[in-house]
Amino acid sequence: MKRSLLLVFIAFFLFGSVASAAKLRLHIPISTSWSGDSSSAEFSSTGYSVRGIFGLFGAGYTQSDLKAKWTNGSTTYTTNAIDVSLTPIDLFTVGYGIVTGGGVSNGTLDSSSGSTTFFNLNFGLGPVDLLAGYRMWDATHKRKSGSENKLKYNEIGLGVGFGF
């Protein structure tokens, strides 16, 4: 009996605050770092991430536009992903996504593949959450010409969430 009460208390403490919550969260990247093969380019990214969280589980869509700037020009790679997430406590969200498409500014893509993983810290201020997150991209863009671009980069993002 004591063990059952203890498990109920722990479950309520860990999961009770988010079990009935519905939230909408929006993120944008503010900092980018390249983690792929060595490159002389400077990298920056723009984009957005939208996530709906229902209880413990969430689903989202992310678009990232990575701009690689060399001394003789630049190229922008667009990568899109859908992902799922888990919010075991209201302070922390972790997730995994699959690349669903993309584009490149100076050519035509044949296919895009890869994955993205992320975690977010959520700081609640009443019905509004302030969010800080870290996302890792590992994508491959295959061009119609046969060449392949392997994109490995990380983004630090900020965002806002709204509870319902």
How many domains does the chain divide into?
1
> How long, in residues, is the chain?
164
Kindly state the tokens that stand for 95.
């997730």
- Please say whether the beta carbons of 19 and 51 come within 8 A: no
Report DSSP letters for 43-78, one per residue.
EEEEEEEEEEEETTEEEEEEEEEEEEEETTEEEEEE
Helical segments of the chain, H only: 2-15
Instruction: State the pTM of this model.
Output: 0.83
| CATH code for the domain of 42 | 2.40.160.20
The list of the chain residues with pLDDT below 50 reads 13-20
Determine the 3-state secondary structure of 108 from DSSP: coil
Range of 7's domain? 2-163
Rounded-to-integer distance, Cα 99 and Cα 104, Å: 14
> CB 38: neighbour CB atoms within 10 A?
5
What pLDDT sits at residue 61?
98
> CB 36: neighbour CB atoms within 10 A?
13
- In the predicted model, what is the mean pLDDT of the chain? 88
What pLDDT sits at residue 6?
57
